[in-house]
Amino acid sequence: MDTPQRSPRWLVPAVVILLALALVVAGFGIAKMLASPETPAAAPATPSSPSGPTGGALSSGDSLFPTIGNRGYDVQHYQIELDYHRDGSINAVTTITANAPAALTSFGLDLKGLEVTAISTDGRPAGWTRDDHKLRVIPAGPVHGSFSTKVVYAGKPTSLTDPNGMREGWLVTEDGATVMAQPMGAMTWFPNNNTPADKATFEITVHVPNGLEVAGSGDLLDQRDSATTSTWVWQQRNPIATYLAMISIGQYEVYKSTMTLTDGRELPLWSFIDPSVGISPAIAERLPKIIRNLESYFGPYPQSSSGIVFDRLEIGYSLETQNRPVITFDDGDWLLYHELAHQWFGDSLTVGDWGDIWLNEGFATYTEFVMPADSVGSDRGDARYYSLLNAASKDSEYWSPPPAPITDPKYLFSQKVVYNRSALTLWALRRQVGAKTFAKIVKTWTSRHRDSVVTTEQFTQLAEELSGKDLDAFFKAWLYTAGQPAQTHR
Ligand SMILES: [Zn+2]
C-alpha cells in the first residue's frame, strides 16, 4: 500500500480537482473510444484534456529506476493463475484489483516480453499499447474508484540484466525456474505496478506437470494432484512489494515443520531443497533458532510463515524473497541471518524509493555485529565496528558516494557503500544513543511501520524522537556526506 508521504503536497489538491471534474464529465456521458482488444490501440500518449479524465503516468517517479512503476492507481491485490509447461513456456492470467482516486482514461502496467492476447477491465474488453516493458491499458470507459483488470498472456519468460550486471527476474534452472526479482524482475512473469511503493496482497496458483513442486511466497493454501498435473496455491495476506513475490518450480525435497515464536505463536515453516545441490536438509532445521534471535534484536517476526528455497542458480547471490528467501550457496548461518533479517527490513518495512536501499541492507548487515560468535566467524559488536572501520579507513570507496540516497543504480548492491557503511552507521548510532535506546528505536521502527512503505527521513526522525537528542550532525556525517565521519578517526 502507498503511504501519504510518497505523494508530493501539490498532488492532493490536484487529485481533488480532477476527481470533481471527472464526476462532471462522467455525468455528461462522455467516454473515450473503445479500441479493439485484438489490435494494439492508437491513443494519445498524453492526457487528452487538462480538465477531464486523464491517462495515468507511466512512471512511479523512482529516483533510480524512473521507467518502472506507474501512477494514478493503487493496487490492492494480484490474482495470478499460471500454467507451466515442460518446454519452459507459460500460459497465465493475472487479475489486478486496484483503486483509482481520479478517473483514468488509460493506465500503465509493467510487463517485459510475453505475448498479451486479451485484456479486460471490470469485465469489458479493453485495448492496449506496448512499448518495451510498458503495457498501457485503455479501458472501454474511464476507470474510477475500485476496478479490476484481467490480462491474459503467454510465452517463455526471460531474465533481465541490471545496471550492475546481475541477472534477475525469471531465472531458468535445470529442472524449472526460480523468480528472484529485485529490483525490476517482477515484470518478467506478471503484469504489475512495478514499484516497491505499491504493496498488495497476492494469491498465486501454479499448475505444473506431475513430478515438479512449486515453492512460493506466503502460505500454502492448497496442493492437489490430478492424473497429469500438480497444482499449488500460495496466498500472501500481508501487502508486499512486487519484487518480493516469488515462485520456484523444480524437483524439491519439501520440509514442513512448525516453530514457536518468542510470543508463543506457532509459525509454519516450508522449505524447498533441490536434492541435486547435495546440501543436508538440516539447513532448514537451523531456522528456528535464527528467527528467535532475530526477534530479540528487531521485535516480533512480522510474517505468517517462513522457510527457504535452496536451488542451483549460477547468479552469485541469494535473495530475501517474501517469507522464504532463495539461497544459492551455504556459507554458514550469517547468510541466513542476513536474508531472514530482510523479513523485517525490506519485506515488512519496504523502501518506497530504491534510493533508500540502505534501510534494507544496513540492518541486514548489522546482524553480523550481534549474531552469535559461531555464526559469522569474526569479531562482534565494538570489535567488529573497529575492524571494519580499520579496513574502511584505508579505502575511500567505502565513503563515496554517501548511502542516503543512492543516486546511481550501479551502487544499489554496493558491498562497501550500501552494506558496510550503512551497518557501521547503525552501530555508530547505537554507540551515540546507547544500546537500550537503540533497541527501542529499532523495535518501534519495525512495529510502527509494519507492512508499510518507509523513508530515510522517517527513520532519522524516530531516532531523534526516542533518544531525545538532536542527531542532525550525526546523520549528516554518516548518511548524507561523502567522506569518513570525523569522529571515527582514531
Ligand atoms: Zn541483503
pLDDT over threshold 60, residue 31: no
Question: Which pLDDT score, from 0 to 100, does residue 117 have?
Answer: 98
Sign for the CA dihedral angle at 237, 147, 183, 344 comes to negative
108, 134 contact by CB (below 8 A): yes
Q: Which CATH architecture has domain 4-249?
A: Sandwich (2.60)
Q: Return d(Cα 364, Cα 70) in angstroms, integer.
A: 29
Q: Return d(Cα 48, Cα 32) in angstroms, integer.
A: 10
Distance 64 CA to ligand 1 centre (A): 18
Distance 320 CA to ligand 1 centre (A): 7
- Cell triple for 400: 563515496
pLDDT band for position 11 (cuts 50, 70, 90)? very low
Distance 419 CA to ligand 1 centre (A): 8
Q: Average of pLDDT values for 463-469?
A: 98
Distance 414 CA to ligand 1 centre (A): 10
Question: Which pLDDT score, from 0 to 100, does residue 236 have?
Answer: 97
Distance 432 CA to ligand 1 centre (A): 25
Q: Which CATH architecture has domain 351-488?
A: Orthogonal Bundle (1.10)
Distance 282 CA to ligand 1 centre (A): 23
List pLDDT tens digits, range 93-150: 999 999 999 999 999 999 999 999 999 999 999 999 999 999 999 999 999 999 999 9
Distance 364 CA to ligand 1 centre (A): 6
User: 104 has which bridge partners?
Assistant: 54, 143
- Quote the crossing angle between the two packed helices 422-433 and 435-448, to the nearest 10°: 120
384, 371 contact by CB (below 8 A): no
Q: Return d(Cα 441, Cα 467) in angstroms, integer.
A: 8
Q: How many CB atoms lie within 10 A of CB 313?
A: 24
pLDDT band for position 164 (cuts 50, 70, 90)? confident
Distance 318 CA to ligand 1 centre (A): 8
- Cell triple for 417: 557503500
- Cell triple for 120: 479486460
Distance 365 CA to ligand 1 centre (A): 7
pLDDT over threshold 50, residue 40: no
Distance 360 CA to ligand 1 centre (A): 7
Question: Which pLDDT score, from 0 to 100, does residue 35 have?
Answer: 32
Q: Average of pLDDT values for 28-53?
A: 42
Whole-number Cα distances in Å, 12 to 18, 19, 53: 10, 11, 16
Question: Which pLDDT score, from 0 to 100, does residue 277 have?
Answer: 87
Q: Return d(Cα 68, Cα 111) in angstroms, integer.
A: 10
Distance 444 CA to ligand 1 centre (A): 21
Closest CA to 210 of 84, 82, 80, 88: 84
List pLDDT tens digits, range 377-401: 668 899 999 999 999 999 999 999 9
List pLDDT tens digits, range 312-334: 998 999 999 999 999 999 888 99
Distance 421 CA to ligand 1 centre (A): 13
Lowest mean pLDDT among 2-11, 239-248, 260-269, 430-439: 2-11
Distance 471 CA to ligand 1 centre (A): 26
Domain ranges in the chain?
A: 4-249, 351-488
Distance 69 CA to ligand 1 centre (A): 22
Distance 210 CA to ligand 1 centre (A): 34
186, 194 contact by CB (below 8 A): yes
pLDDT band for position 488 (cuts 50, 70, 90)? low
Whole-number Cα distances in Å, 203 to 147, 237, 240: 17, 8, 12
User: What are the backbone dihedrals phi and psi of residue 60, each rounded to the nearest 5 degrees, phi first?
Assistant: -85, -5
- The angle subtended at Cα 267 by Cα 264 and Cα 273, nearest 5°, is 145
pLDDT over threshold 70, residue 354: yes
Question: Which pLDDT score, from 0 to 100, does residue 378 have?
Answer: 67
Question: Which pLDDT score, from 0 to 100, does residue 97 have?
Answer: 98
Q: Return d(Cα 211, Cα 1) in angstroms, integer.
A: 37
Distance 150 CA to ligand 1 centre (A): 33
* Mean pLDDT across the chain: 89
Pairing of strands 176-180, 247-250: antiparallel
Closest CA to 95 of 61, 137, 59: 137
Three-state secondary structure string covering 300-329:
CCCCCCECCEECCCCCCCCECCCCCCEECC
Q: Return d(Cα 146, Cα 62) in angstroms, integer.
A: 24
